Each structure stands twice: as C-alpha cells, then as structure tokens.
Amino acid sequence: MHAMKIRIRLVAFRDAPKEVYEQARNRLIECFPIIHLAFVEEAPDAICFASGGSEQLAVSLMEPGRFYLLLAGDQGNAYAAATEVKAWADLNGRSTKLVTIKQAMEDKILDRLAGVNQARHQLQHQKAALIGEVSHWLVASHFPLSLVRDRFGIKMIHLPWKTLPDYLEHPPDEEFLNVFAESKKKDLEKEARIHTFLQHIVQEYQLDGVTVECFSMVKDRGATACLSLALLNSRNILAACEGDLVSLTGMMVTRALTRHVPWMANIASINHDHVLFAHCTAPLNVVRAYSLPSHFETDKSAAVQGDLDMEDVTIYRLNAQLNKAYIAEGRIVARPKHAFACRTQVEVALSPEDLHALREHPLGNHHLIIPGRYGDLFRWFGWVSGVQAIQG
C-alpha cells in the first residue's frame, strides 16, 4: 500500500571503523526486509545509533521543526547515546521518538513512519476548495487558508459564490438521478443540478476535496447538497459540509493515511459510556442501506439516513490551529433513528478517558468517523507533523 521508504543516517563514535557501520547497516536490513532503507548522510527520517560516543554527530543532524526517529541498537552503549540525544532534543525543541531496533521491529514502527511519510508527501500534492463561506456558527473551525498549506502543504483556495455560476442553471446529473432512482424520492432535480455544479467545480479546479457552504442553498433555493456530498465522497472526492475547513483538512489527512473516506458528523449527545454522532449525509459506500428523508434542521429537500457499515471505528478531529487532534478508538453499539437529530446516526462506545476529553476539551463539534482502528497511525502522523494528541 505504501512506498516503504525510510531515510536513515547511521551514527557512531568518532573515527569508528567501517565494520561498526556495516554491522548496524546489516542488522537493519535483516530486521526490516520489506522496507526500502535509504542510507543517507543528510536529512534523515531516522537516526540509528551504532555505538556510544555518537551524540555530537547525531545532534548536528537535527534541524528545528523536523521529527526524528531515534533507533538504538543494544550494544556498545548505543541506547545510552540515544537517551542523551533524546534529552537534548527535548531541551531544544526537536520532536523525537526513541525506540530500540527490536521494539521498532515488533511494533512495525518503521512501517508506520513510512506510511506517515507517504501520506505527508501525498498531501503536498493535493488541492481543495472552500465553496461559499465558512458557516457563521463554526466559530472553532475557521482558519486562514494559508495555514493548511503551511502545516500540511495542501493548497486550499476560496471560491466565493459570486465568482461561480448559478448552481441551479446546470443540467441535472444523469448518474445522480440513476443512483437515487431507487429511493422513490420523487423530485430530486434541483439536487441533481447541484451535483452537476459541484462536479464541474471539482473538474475545473482539479480538486481533491471541497467544503461547501450548504445551508445557504437550502435557505435560498430550497435544495440541499447532502446527496451530492454523499455521492462525491463515495466517488473518492472528499466533500465536507457547512464550509467546515477543519473537517475537510481532517478528511484529507484521513484519506492520505488510511485510504478511507471518513464520515463527518455532529456530536448530538454524550452519555456515560457512548457518544451519539449524527449528520444528514454519509458516503454512500459506507452505508448498508439508506433512505432519503428531508434535511433535519430545515425539513426541506433530501438527506441521507443510512445504516453505517462499520463496527470498530476511529474518531478524529483537528483543532483550528491544526496543531492538536482528538484521536479515539471505539465501537459502534447502536444505529438509532431518533427524531431529534440529523438523519444518519450511530452510537459509539468510547473509553471513559476519551469521553472525558470530548466533554471537557472538545476541539469543535464535527468529528470524523473512520472504519477500523487507526489511533496509532494518527498519533504517529501527529508526532511527525507537530499535531499533539489531546489527552482525556
């Protein structure tokens, strides 16, 4: 799945004989046979300590603002040297993780680092757009668009409504009408026009994702984008609601890391052992069956009410500075259809610590629900990218 490439710099004591390096190099190749280890002099992802006495060389390699994996062998005071360097890194604001080669092998740490590097590389070639404006109620989900480029390399552009053609002047999308024909919802012509419009924008600007100020569409023209966003997501075009920039960024990170398109949802309620997540759209390929009732808040147009086809899930949410993240793993315990919340709903059981963090230190309302358990991968992404996981 990932191009398994890690740049490694070997360090040892001054004037160490060639054999010290050769031995460390051979051990790494033996321990990590499926990962492409590039032994480099500069800009390493990992620094491997072949012996003690290597501290000065190691710190000379470590630039500010970059993450380094410190890999230590178990001979010749290699671990002792790595510990000293780890302490220097903590004092001097370098982000590091110190592990033994054995631990890295057992916990597949190099695989994770390679996956994270691949995801970060992928994000640097992605482009997304805010269509319309960020909804005014998203007071904790708004940032200058340059931030997402600075943090993750994603190009995110703003396309105000006044610069775009009228979405209802586009012809209805045939594929859209075919996909939703079985739903027996009678009139989806406006929604199908919105889909043509959004597809047109995605193609014209060569976008990997969009976030749409969708409530103004219902208010002004009586049609939601819920179905179009569901279809775009199931076609692997990331599509977030309400002009939420943080959610779109999180969706892009999620797909780059896990290959999954997440479900973006509100926290509808939290009780003693679970959270109720709900939203009026969901990628069609993550629901087993769905119907198209009206949109919850406006009771107009159409929304997706689906049975989410997931069991174990990861919950992910960035903050508006893109330097903190909520990361939790849980299990879906119910798929209710309460009348008091948005149409697609799930109850997710979480640990007391994760529920506490969500109650006491939420980073915002919208959270991403991802099938599978990826907490560790998101935490590694955070260490490498300077995104701190919040604790419960």
Partner 1 sequence: MSVLMEFAMFPTDKGESVSPFVSKIIKMIDESGYEYRLTPMGTIVEADDLKEILSLVERAYKILEPDCRRVYSAIKLDIRQGAENCLEKKVQSVENQIGKVKK
- Kindly list the residues in this chain that would bind partner 1 in the complex (CB under 8 A): 127, 129-130, 144-146, 149, 155-158, 160, 162-163, 204-206
Q: Where does 92-127 have alpha helices with state H?
A: 101-106, 109-123
User: What does DSSP assign to residue 194?
Assistant: H
As measured in angstroms, the least distance from the Cβ of 157 to partner 1 is: 4
Residue (134 or 325) nearer to partner 1, CB: 134
As measured in angstroms, the least distance from the Cβ of 367 to partner 1 is: 24
**Mapping DSSP to helix (H, G, I), strand (E, B) and coil, where does residue 18 land?**
helix
As measured in angstroms, the least distance from the Cβ of 323 to partner 1 is: 19
Give the integer Cα–Cα distance in Å for 192 and 314: 32
As measured in angstroms, the least distance from the Cβ of 161 to partner 1 is: 12
Residue (160 or 171) nearer to partner 1, CB: 160
DSSP state string for 263-332: EEEEEEEE-SSEEEEEES---GGGEEEEE----TTT--S---EEEE--SEEEEEEE-TTSSEEEEEEEEE
As measured in angstroms, the least distance from the Cβ of 120 to partner 1 is: 16
Residue (39 or 161) nearer to partner 1, CB: 161
User: Contact at 8 Å (CB) between 154 and 252?
Assistant: yes
Give the integer Cα–Cα distance in Å for 74 and 206: 50
As measured in angstroms, the least distance from the Cβ of 228 to partner 1 is: 22
As measured in angstroms, the least distance from the Cβ of 205 to partner 1 is: 7
Give the integer Cα–Cα distance in Å for 31 and 42: 23
Neighbours of 207 (CB within 10 A): 22
As measured in angstroms, the least distance from the Cβ of 153 to partner 1 is: 10
Strands annotated E in 120-173: 127-131, 155-159
Residue (21 or 205) nearer to partner 1, CB: 205
Q: Where does 99-214 have alpha helices with state H?
A: 101-106, 109-123, 145-152, 174-179, 189-204
Give the integer Cα–Cα distance in Å for 96 and 113: 12
Crossing angle, helix 375-385 and helix 109-123, to 10 degrees? Answer: 60
Residue (60 or 163) nearer to partner 1, CB: 163
Q: Which two tokens stand for residue 2?
A: 């990932």
Residue (101 or 252) nearer to partner 1, CB: 252
Residue (162 or 186) nearer to partner 1, CB: 162
User: Contact at 8 Å (CB) between 243 and 134?
Assistant: yes
Residue (127 or 335) nearer to partner 1, CB: 127
Residue (157 or 181) nearer to partner 1, CB: 157
Length of the chain: 392
As measured in angstroms, the least distance from the Cβ of 243 to partner 1 is: 13
